[in-house]
Amino acid sequence: MSYTLQQICREIGIDYQGEEKTITGIHTLSEANETELSFFNAAKYASQLPDTRAAAVLIEEKYADRLPDTTIALITDEPYLKLALASKLFAHKITTGSDTPAMGEECDIDASVRFGKNVTLGDRVTILAGCYIGDNVTIGSGTLLHANVSVYYDTQMGENCIIHSGTVIGSDGYGFAHTRQGEHIKIYQNGNVVIEEDVEIGANCTIDRAAFGSTYIRKGTKLDNLIQIAHNCDVGAYTLCAAQSGLAGSATLGRNVVIGGQTAISGHLHVGDFATIGGKSGVTKSLEGKKTYAGVPAIDHRLWLRIQAKIAALGKKK
């Protein structure tokens, strides 16, 4: 779907009478192309303004002169709220429509499975009872979906994956803009989820789709039960993540990260390759790779042990 800039501006309440452009979607400043709309609402991203390729940017007037000449400034004092309103225009239309999927050889599909439109299955895909596979989903050869798995539209799943019962892939990320009156306006999550090959995801996990772009679960990663991966996260290859852990939006993990159970990782942080994080930790800043961490906030594991020993010693004093 596409809209002209004037159509978008009418819908979101911005006065615009300038050059007309056709807009095909919304993306971040660094990723938007010449037919996409973007937004700017945080000073920490100011360095990206001169280099954006976006067709137009929702932006406050005081920052508009930092945009390149090829990008149109859509002036507003509420760019994030206007983004939320614009995102609805590009949202996937949810319907109950169903088609027979394009299917490879030797697939085993329970009769109760429901497919959306334009679904593609590789060879030897097995899907058990009660699953739903949404529009435009691709599932690679040799992949197994246990009972009652829900795969939302546009998800891409690689070969030889195992998805356990009750897991939801591609549900909306938790994104809202707020009006001055305290109302919460949905930011439609118009990205997708990409799961690479040889991934195993436990029971009752939730992998949220991206707001823009993709949420990634990289090859060889193994997720335990009851894990939350928020929108736009990138879980590196061969990561191990124990039960009841959660990653907030746009957190990224390097390869071979090990995460203990009930660990929480804050949004927009990065954990380096081969890092290990002990159970019940709270990660509040980015962590270097090849080290072991524990605690809340997560710190070097050896330091955490020394602190725990001193706390225990204080408790023994009379």
HEC assignment per residue over 148-159: CCEECCCCEECC
d(CA 148, CA 199): 18
d(CA 189, CA 209): 7
Question: Based on the number of CB atoms within 10 Å of its own CB, is 223 exposed (0-12), middle (13-18) or buried (19 or more)?
Answer: buried
**What is the rounded CA–CA span in Å between residue 61 and residue 314?**
57
Whether 231 is catalytic: yes
State the CB neighbour count (10 A cutoff) for residue 93: 8
Q: At CA 239, angle to CA 279 and CA 156, rounded to 5?
A: 125
Give the active site residue among 27, 146, 164, 231: 231
* Residue 177 backbone dihedrals phi, psi, to 5 degrees: -100, 160
| Catalytic residue positions, numbered | 231
